[in-house]
Structure 1
Amino acid sequence: MEFLFSLALTLHVLAAVGIVGLVLVQHGKGADMGATFGSGASGSLFGAAGSANFLSRTTAVLAVVFFLTSLSLAYFASNTPKTTGSVMEDAVKSAPEAVTAPAAGEEVPAPADSASKAKDIPK
């Protein structure tokens, strides 16, 4: 299951990067006016109109891959095993024991450390 998640995530990122690159490469609707005045599109690799079809079809295929990987990643995320209990239960279990304050009139013992300055404090 972990392998499928990693594969879907890798395909998802590659499809996203591919879509961004192809959208940036494509010409907008306003580029047609410049092409009529001889911008050299007829001598391109795909011909005068072939590049638009190829790029738009490739973008559509990558968009379908992107949506399928999005759905599969959502499915994998929803089927992860849930932990039982709550965060507060875990915090109570791992908390240190509470230190109680001394009762009224009870003397607090001095620390056993010989380097302590508590003995130098006048009473």
Structure 2
Amino acid sequence: MPQLDHTIVHSTDRFASARFLAELLDAPEPQAYGPFAALTLDNGVVLDFAEHVAAGREFVPTHYAFLVTEDEFDGIFGRIQEQQLAYWAGPRHAGPQEINHLDGGRGVYIDDPDGHAMEFITRKYSEELLTSL
């Protein structure tokens, strides 16, 4: 089956946005790759942060979800709290300063510096849960 290799994340400052996420994930420093700040995840997928420069056009913030282990979640959530970042239990800023426990896991949403919703979950959502949303 095909696998995602990379995707572009639009930003106003490619390295600031890539470093923000890298620090939360405790990932290596993003690397310059042409016009991108490339953040490589453990599964080999690369997030290529690009500065959006189209004159007179703004990009639409989007959603990125990361499946993490329980220990990784503890680390990420600890860094969110250390940095005093706003966080939510659900999309569209539902449940401010709360985490969720969907499907017996834990999940949290934050906004990155460009307004992208970054979600960190410890369990993949079941089809039963997804159809009830």
TM-score, scaled relative to structure 2: 0.17
Structure number with the bigger relative contact order (C-alpha 8 A, sep ≥ 6) is: 1
Between Structure 1 and Structure 2, the one with more strand by share is 2
TM-score, scaled relative to structure 1: 0.18
- Larger-Rg structure: 1
